[in-house]
Homo-oligomer: A and B are copies of this chain.
Amino acid sequence: MADLYGGVEAGGTKFNCIIASGPQDIRAEARIPTTTPAETLTQVIRWFGASGLPIRALGIASFGPLDLRRDSPTYGYITTTPKPGWRNTALVKPLQDALGVPVAFDTDVNGAALGEGVWGAARGLHTFLYLTIGTGIGGGAVVNGQLLHGLTHPEMGHIRLPHDLQADPYPGACPFHGDCFEGLASGPTLWARWQQDPATLPPDHPAWRLEVRYIALALVNYICVLSPQRIILGGGVMDSHFLFPRIRAEVQQLLNGYIAHEALGAGIDRYIVPPELGARAGVLGAVALAMQAAQAS
């Protein structure tokens, strides 16, 4: 019998919960709406208890920003989120106290990156990037086989990009930075710029030209800084799969042959790819975090 792990993908609209040993062995799943911290965490705890399944460890892959510093008094907290009611909210301690198992804690995108590395599109690679483009934009990276944390954790959605105000007079929607990448290219930004549900925009709509441009500019910056072996693009916006070939072509055009590597030439179709774990990338990432925590404990 394989050991079981709990995973919680803490998102702005729902908490996805899972009990599994991996993507081929999922024992239970639940979606719990994100309301108040007290209500949502109580329901999460109740669900794991009611499952009757013993877990060795729990992983939490959460929206952020997060405090990941073990020596900090607010370790395990969501910190400066603009989400109402969730600023400075403890996630780790209430779950650890209630469930009595080791609890791993990281960003949703670091979890997803780890999950894709263990079971998905980045198997066998040592340095890669997972990016989600949806309600928000965020990235998680594995470098030399380890999650990248550094000072805190990456905030890849908040890089600054060229913004041609003539081609796109939309000022950007990020409450902190205006026209950073997230402020220009998240799902809600598409809604706000075009006054229409982005899922209803046809593939030849001018919205996608701009969207491809911003995503490609961002990927070029990630490539120049991290030199990833592969980039995995997930999130709601990337469910429009016709974006992939356009993004690949624009990345090549922007790099203009400067970085001489087959992956950025003929191999580009295998370089910029969708997640293999699909909609479960986040919650299985939380399971991967739990497995790490169990090994370390």
Interface residues of A (CB under 8 A from B): 65, 67, 79-80, 126-127, 139, 141, 143-144, 146, 148-163, 176-177, 179, 217, 220-229, 254-261, 263-264
Contact = CB atoms under 8 A, between A and B. Distances in A.
B229 A150 contact: yes
Given A80-B258, A160-B161, A127 B150 contact: yes
The complex is assembled from copies of this chain, and their number is 2
A248 to B, nearest CB: 15
Contacts of A79: 260
Given A65-B258, A144-B146, A176-B258, A158 B224 contact: yes
- 10 tightest CB-CB pairs across the interface, nearest first? A150-B227, A127-B150, A176-B258, A143-B143, A159-B221, A225-B225, A155-B224, A159-B224, A151-B227, A144-B146
Contacts of A179: 162
Given A80-B260, A127-B149, 5 more contacts: A80-B258, A143-B144, A151-B223, A155-B259, A159-B221
Contacts of A226: 148, 150, 154, 225-226
Contacts of A141: 225
Given A127-B150, A258-B80, A261-B151, A162 B162 contact: yes
A127 to B, nearest CB: 4
Contacts of A150: 126-127, 143, 226-229
6 contacts: A80-B258, A143-B148, A144-B149, A149-B227, A150-B227, A154-B226
A225 B264 CA distance: 20
A179 B159 CA distance: 17
Nearest to A79: B260
A237 to B, nearest CB: 19
A145 to B, nearest CB: 9
Contacts of A255: 176
Candidate in A160, A223, A260, A261 with the most chain B CB atoms within 10 angstroms: A160
Contact of A257 (B176, B258, B259): B176
A151 to B, nearest CB: 5
